[in-house]
């Protein structure tokens, strides 16, 4: 049955003749190509998202002449996926900038509330074994629970504590620590001020606490991270054939998290910085980033491909950490040597 979307925002009544409005928008009469072009997703997924968020969005709009959940979802998707500022995207669906802002705020909050449902790191034995099998098919690296990375999303300079958001490249940003599985499904997504070092973020993160007692399997992290029994990193200066093979398999497997974030940025152009930084406070920018992560996982659960829209250029490869002998984990080094000897030599 066709779902009519009525726009009943009283803001529209103030603009008078000549203002672009859509009194009714019937999703069943619009082609998937139009929906994909303007809102980034096909009809079935948009309808699924509307039903997922309907109760929450309806609670937040219990005033007369409120904007429907359908229009709120379309407005937010349009903003997330276009990278356009709210005025231009609001014009496409016929609502004012003030209404567009409320829609993005409402949908963002609703999606962040759904994060525990869609972004979870399940360590039960069946999930662990499935993860091992999926990752080993990529490049032969054994025992992988997930791949870890920390990425940066540019924001405008905050009004307070601005220096804590200046990253090593000199611009203001939100840092997001990600862990994903072999399919690009996010297992963890945590946001932090961009000025924090990646190793500090890891030490303060929930995933760090969660894996302290881990006895089987490990994450893969690149050279900026310290080697741990639960976090395998590349060999800094490989000297044997086994070490070279280990590093090659590590790189090919770890690349999954880089590809995943490239795909997220490509689908959600508000994050890629091409049309400008996110023009919001760090708190709201973090919420928008997490909302996009929830949408990414929800789309995978709905059968969409994680990397359909992946950009081709790779993310910058970081330099390795500077660790003293005292900071080195001898048990982790022995474990890595055992992995190399058993699986790559």
* pLDDT above 70 for 334: yes
* pLDDT above 60 for 343: yes
Residues 155 and 265 placed together within one structural domain of the fold: yes
Residues 128 and 258 placed together within one structural domain of the fold: yes
| Residue 125, phi then psi, degrees to nearest 5 | -55, -40
Residues 96 and 35 placed together within one structural domain of the fold: yes
Domain boundary among 113, 131, 154: 113
Range of the domain at 12: 4-113
pLDDT at 32: 87
**DSSP codes, 225-244:** SPPBTTEE---SS--SHHHH
Range of weakest confidence among 10-24, 174-188, 217-231, 283-297 = 10-24
Residues 233 and 251 placed together within one structural domain of the fold: yes
Residues 92 and 124 placed together within one structural domain of the fold: no
> SS3 of 188, please?
strand
Domain boundary among 88, 113, 138: 113
pLDDT at 296: 97
Residues 183 and 267 placed together within one structural domain of the fold: yes
What would the pLDDT profile of 60-102 be if each residue is shown by its tens digit? Answer: 655 545 788 988 999 999 999 987 755 666 666 777 888 888 9
In angstroms, the CA 235 to CA 257 distance is 19
Long-range contacts of 45-48, Cβ-Cβ distance < 8 Å, separation of 24 or more: 45/298, 45/299, 45/302, 45/304, 46/73, 46/74, 46/77, 47/3, 48/298, 48/302
Residues 211 and 183 placed together within one structural domain of the fold: yes
Domain boundary among 113, 134, 161: 113
Residues 186 and 84 placed together within one structural domain of the fold: no
Residues 100 and 139 placed together within one structural domain of the fold: no
pLDDT at 149: 97
Of 25 and 274, the one with more pLDDT = 274
Residues 138 and 56 placed together within one structural domain of the fold: no
Q: Report the domain count for the chain.
A: 2
What would the pLDDT profile of 134-186 be if each residue is shown by its tens digit? Answer: 999 999 999 999 999 999 999 999 999 999 999 999 999 999 999 999 999 99
In angstroms, the CA 335 to CA 287 distance is 38
Q: What percent of the chain has pLDDT over 70?
A: 82
What would the pLDDT profile of 7-24 be if each residue is shown by its tens digit? Answer: 333 343 333 333 333 344
* pLDDT above 70 for 321: no
pLDDT at 89: 61
pLDDT at 308: 64
pLDDT at 24: 44
Q: In what order do the strands lie in the sheet with 231-232?
A: 186-193, 173-180, 144-154, 218-220, 231-232
Residues 210 and 61 placed together within one structural domain of the fold: no
Tokens at residue 188, please?
Answer: 């963890």
The CB density around residue 32, as the number of other CB atoms within 10 Å, is 12
Average pLDDT over residues 253-278: 91
Average pLDDT over residues 306-326: 53
Range of weakest confidence among 133-147, 243-257, 296-310 = 296-310
pLDDT at 67: 84
Residues 265 and 242 placed together within one structural domain of the fold: yes
- Enter the pTM of the model: 0.87
Encode burial over 230-268: b for 16+ CB neighbours within 10 A, e otherwise: bbbbbbeeeeeebbebbbbbbeebbbbbbbbbbbbbbbb
* pLDDT above 90 for 260: yes
Element (H, E) at 297: helix 282-301
């Amino acid at each position: 049955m066709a779902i009519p979307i009525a726009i009943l925002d009283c803001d529209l009544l103030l603009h008078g003749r000549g203002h672009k409005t859509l009194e009714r928008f019937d999703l069943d009469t619009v082609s998937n190509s139009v929906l994909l072009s303007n809102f980034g997703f096909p009809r079935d997924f948009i309808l699924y998202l509307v039903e997922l968020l309907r109760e929450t969005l309806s609670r937040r709009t219990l005033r007369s002449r409120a904007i429907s959940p359908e229009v709120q979802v379309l407005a937010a998707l349009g903003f997330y996926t276009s990278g356009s500022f709210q005025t231009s995207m609001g014009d496409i669906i016929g609502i004012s900038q003030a209404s567009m802002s409320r829609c993005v705020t409402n949908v963002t909050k609703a999606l962040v509330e759904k994060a525990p449902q869609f972004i979870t790191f399940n360590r039960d034995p069946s999930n662990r074994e499935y993860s091992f099998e999926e990752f080993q098919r990529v490049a032969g690296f054994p025992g992988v629970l997930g791949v870890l990375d920390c990425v940066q999303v540019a924001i405008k300079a905050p009004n307070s504590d601005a220096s804590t958001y200046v990253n090593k490249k000199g611009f203001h940003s939100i840092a997001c620590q990600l862990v994903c599985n072999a399919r690009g499904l996010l297992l963890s997504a945590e946001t932090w001020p961009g000025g924090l070092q990646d190793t500090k973020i890891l030490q303060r993160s929930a995933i760090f606490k969660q894996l302290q007692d881990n006895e089987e399997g490990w994450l893969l992290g690149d050279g900026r991270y310290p080697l741990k029994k639960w976090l395998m990193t590349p060999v800094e200066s490989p000297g044997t054939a086994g070490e070279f093979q280990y590093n090659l398999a590590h790189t090919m497997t770890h690349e999954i998290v880089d590809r995943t974030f490239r795909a997220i940025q490509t689908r959600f152009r508000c994050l890629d910085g091409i049309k400008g930084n996110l023009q919001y406070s760090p708190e709201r920018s973090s919420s928008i980033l997490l909302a996009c992560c929830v949408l990414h996982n929800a789309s995978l659960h709905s059968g969409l491909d994680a990397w359909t829209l992946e950009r081709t250029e790779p993310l910058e490869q970081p330099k390795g950490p500077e660790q003293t002998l005292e900071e080195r984990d001898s048990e982790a080094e022995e474990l890595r040597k055992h992995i190399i000897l058993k699986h790559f030599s």
